[in-house]
Amino acid sequence: MLYLGTMVWQLLLFGLVWFGLRLKKTKLRDVIGGQWSKAEDFLLDGAIAAGFWIVSAAILVGLKFAFGLASLDAKRSADQVKQTIGAITPKTLTELAVFVLLALCAGFFEEIVFRGYLQKQIGAITRNAYLGLVIAAIIFGAGHGYQGTPQMVLIGLYGAMFGALALLRRSLRPGMMAHAWQDAFSGVAAYVLTKMGML
């Protein structure tokens, strides 16, 4: 029910953004940016998403160690993971399937809401795209407060990385791909590690 409730919440936020865009006669594809008129465009965005995922994952691992959220001691590290995401880890194949669906929704909806809409709107209001990026990242991190303050800060920093990617690429597409992949990968990894008794 937590996964479904989260998807409904994401859909409601997306609906508000979509309604606002309709009022301003702005197309969703203009918010997403980029073009996939050729297969090369899709492949380039996929390659950028993969590279971004690898680099951002390495940065996040380093930050987790710096914040004391990860350890070289396997038991201590597993306990920290359990404490952080234990309650939201999928326990059955059905939960895993719904979690992966949630990850796909998060990749699409959260990137549109936070990077496509909020970041751009705040940037336009403040007349500073970088301030828009920072404020949207703070809001994104705060939206994950249920994971605790250290995780919330990490997720805010992760949101800032997605914001920087959107600014540099002028498209949400690579961020959507990387976001969906990261969330799905985390859920599948947590499920497998739990089944193996490592979490």
Q: In which band, very low, low, confident or very high, does the pLDDT at 82 lie, cut at 50, 70 and 90?
A: low
Question: How many domains does the chain divide into?
Answer: 1
**What sign does the CA torsion over 178, 184, 187, 189 have?**
negative
Specify the pLDDT at position 154.
92
* pLDDT reading at 74 higher than 80: no
CA-only gyration radius of the chain, Å = 17
What would the two tokens of residue 157 be? 């920093």
Bridge partner list, 171: 33
Judged by average pLDDT, the poorest of 27-31, 34-38, 41-45 is 34-38
CA angle 43, 32, 59 (to 5 degrees): 65
- Is residue 146 included in any domain, yes or no? yes
Q: Is residue 94 part of a domain?
A: yes
Q: Categorize the per-residue pLDDT at 188 as very low, low, confident or very high, splitting at 50, 70 and 90.
A: very high
Q: Is 181 helix (H, G, I), strand (E, B) or coil?
A: helix
pLDDT value at residue 132: 96
Do the domain assignments include residue 16?
no
* Domain that includes residue 136, residue range: 39-195
Task: Indicate whether 5 belongs to any domain.
Answer: no
Average pLDDT over residues 4-33: 92
Answer whether residue 150 is part of any domain.
yes
Residue 72 pLDDT class (50, 70, 90 cuts): confident
**Res 84: pLDDT:** 60
Q: Does 32 map to a domain?
A: no
| Phi (first) and psi of residue 33, to 5 degrees | 75, 175
Higher pLDDT pick, 141 / 67:
141
Closest CA to 147 of 99, 81, 85, 191: 85
The pLDDT of residue 112: 96
* Within a domain: 3: no
Q: Tell me the per-residue pLDDT of 85-137, one tens digit each, with 9 for 90 and over.
A: 667 788 899 999 999 999 999 999 999 999 999 999 999 999 999 999 999 99
